[in-house]
């Protein structure tokens, strides 16, 4: 049963026409003195849904409807700062404008179907979209301060990368998520918090390869970090990728290195990585590490290297030694992730003692290394475990570090 969050929004035909090019709600028709937000040299893609509009785009909309520009800023505040998507609850707007917003399709682009809470406080949300597709997003309270929460969000329904240790990679790609669907996960996540909790970090480590859906993810990043809205620090937002080199370069240019970058490495030799991560057949390790050296970082900033330890595949002392050489000269920190079991694979994690020895070898050779504590595994919310749900098990899995 859907949680009572209000009407699930499907944009009307009029809205779809406006997104395709009407005079009052497109990026090219911003008010005088207002410039379209640009990523590097290119403008953002047009919003897929009303909640994906930025303040300047809302201003252009409402002026085209005969309203003063400041009403556009009020609408953005309601949606992104206050998390109110029901126009009827936007009490400082005139009734006629609230009705126009309803007619334009303002509302939730997804709804929560179920919430599963782990014994460690992790919450896994299953969310449904109007076309019946479902994804999962995870809320992770900080271990030493449960008031601070990290949210892991999805960017695709499924994943095309085919990583053998990750359930969503095994399942394949069903479709891209829109900018509005990506951001709505955070808006819905905030509704699950206790009054003294706040989402401080957002990580694109859920289902999908974020950089394979670059345009929607880029607009979502701008929305999530906008100072008039959710206002996350870019330093608190991490985009994880399996290694799409061209898009890594673009992310660095577009956001000037301010968005945190995580790389799903998982093997240190091309032959081994190509077996477990097909993306390596297109972008080998030399090409990938060259891209990491180009990524613009501040003096204290480091790239996160995600490394899922798989027994007998990538967990030898030789692997540790070669990882150090592979990453030499790149400012990194390494997260070791003992593989979480998935039904589609016989692969498994090495023993706890072996994981510790692997960490010690990397540390001895000069890397900063952490072992990621498994969170939410009792509700299948750990890295790589989120699975398809619903009719014919239609929904998708959490990509974790893949």
- What pLDDT shows up at residue 113? 97
Query: Is the pLDDT higher at 34 or at 287?
Result: 287
**Tens digits of residue pLDDT in 173-196:** 999 999 999 999 999 999 999 999
Catalytic residue among 59, 67, 133, 136: 136
Q: What percentage of the chain has pLDDT greater than the value 70?
A: 85
HEC readout, the chain: CCCCCCCECCCCHHHHHHHHHCCCCCHHHCCCCCCCCEECCEECCCCCCHHHCCHHHHHHHHHHCCCCCHHHHHHHHHHHHCCCCCHHHCCCCCHHHHHHHHHCCCCECCEEEEEEECCCCCEEEEEECCCCCEEEEEEEEECCEEEEEEEECCCEEECCCCCCCCHHHHHCEEEECCHHHHHHHHHHHHCCCCCCCEEEEEEECCCCCHHHHHHHHHHHHHHHCCCCCCCCCHHHEEEEECCCHHHHHHHHHHHCCCCEEEEECCCCCHHHHHHHCHHHHCCCHHHHHHHHHHCCCCCCCCEEEEEEECCCCCCCHHHHHHHHHHCCCCCEEEEEEECCCCCCCCCCCCCHHHHHHHHHHHHHCCCCEEECCCCCHHHCCCCCCCCCCCHHHCCCCCCCCC
* Averaged pLDDT of the chain: 88
d(CA 151, CA 288): 27
CB of 59 within 8 A of CB of 69?
Answer: yes
383 is catalytic: yes
Read off the pLDDT band of 400 (50, 70, 90): very low
Per-residue pLDDT, averaged over 385-394, amounts to 41
Per-residue pLDDT, averaged over 389-402, amounts to 38
- What pLDDT shows up at residue 67? 98
**Tens digits of residue pLDDT in 323-360:** 999 999 999 999 999 998 887 788 999 999 999 999 99
d(CA 341, CA 377): 10
CB within 8 Å of 201: residues ≥ 6 apart: 148, 149, 150, 151, 232, 236, 237, 238
Whether the predicted pLDDT of 58 surpasses 80:
yes
**Tens digits of residue pLDDT in 105-146:** 999 999 999 999 989 999 999 999 999 999 999 999 999 999
- What pLDDT shows up at residue 30? 72
For the chain, domains (ranges, CATH) are 13-103 (1.10.150.530), 131-393 (3.20.20.70)
**Tens digits of residue pLDDT in 241-261:** 999 999 999 999 999 999 999
Whether the predicted pLDDT of 155 surpasses 70:
yes
136 is catalytic: yes
Read off the pLDDT band of 4 (50, 70, 90): very low
CB of 242 within 8 A of CB of 248?
Answer: no
* Residue keyed to tokens 């091309």: 270
- What pLDDT shows up at residue 55? 97
d(CA 75, CA 365): 53
CB of 234 within 8 A of CB of 224?
Answer: no
CB of 2 within 8 A of CB of 103?
Answer: no
Whether the predicted pLDDT of 312 surpasses 50:
yes
């Amino acid at each position: 049963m859907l949680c009572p969050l209000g009407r699930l929004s499907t944009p009307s035909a009029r809205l779809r026409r406006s997104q395709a090019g009407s005079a009052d709600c497109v990026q090219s028709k911003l008010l005088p003195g207002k410039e379209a937000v640009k990523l590097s040299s290119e403008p953002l893609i047009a919003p897929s849904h009303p909640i994906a509009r930025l303040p300047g785009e809302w201003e252009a909309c409402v002026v085209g409807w005969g309203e003063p520009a400041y009403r556009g800023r009020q609408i953005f505040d309601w949606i992104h700062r206050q998390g109110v998507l029901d126009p009827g609850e936007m009490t400082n707007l005139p009734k006629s404008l609230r009705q126009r917003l309803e007619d334009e399709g303002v509302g939730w682009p997804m709804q929560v179907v179920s919430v599963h809470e782990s014994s460690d406080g992790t919450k896994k949300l299953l969310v449904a979209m109007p076309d019946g597709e479902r994804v999962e997003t995870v809320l992770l309270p900080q271990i030493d301060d449960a008031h601070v929460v990290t949210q892991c969000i999805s960017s695709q329904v499924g994943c095309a990368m085919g990583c053998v240790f990750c359930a969503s990679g095994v399942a394949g790609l069903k479709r891209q998520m829109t900018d509005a669907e990506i951001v709505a996960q955070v808006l819905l996540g905030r509704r699950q918090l206790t009054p003294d909790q706040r989402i401080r970090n957002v990580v694109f480590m859920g289902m999908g390869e974020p950089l394979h859906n670059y345009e929607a993810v880029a607009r979502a990043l701008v929305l999530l970090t906008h100072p008039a809205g959710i206002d996350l620090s870019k330093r608190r937002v991490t985009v994880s990728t399996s290694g799409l080199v061209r898009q890594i370069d673009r992310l660095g240019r577009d956001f000037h290195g301010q968005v945190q970058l995580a790389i799903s490495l998982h093997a240190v030799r091309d032959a081994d990585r190509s077996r477990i991560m097909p993306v390596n057949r297109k972008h080998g390790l030399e090409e990938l590490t060259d891209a990491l050296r180009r990524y613009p970082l501040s003096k204290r900033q480091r790239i996160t290297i995600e490394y899922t330890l798989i027994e007998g595949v990538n967990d030898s002392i030789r692997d540790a030694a070669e990882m150090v050489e592979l990453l030499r000269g790149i400012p990194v920190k390494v997260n070791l992730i003992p593989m979480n079991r998935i039904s589609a694979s016989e692969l498994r994690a090495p023993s706890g003692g072996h994981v510790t020895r692997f960490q010690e070898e990397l540390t001895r050779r000069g890397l900063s290394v952490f072992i990621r504590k498994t969170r939410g595994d009792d509700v299948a919310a750990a890295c790589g475990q989120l699975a398809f749900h619903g009719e014919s098990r239609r929904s998708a899995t959490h990509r974790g570090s893949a």
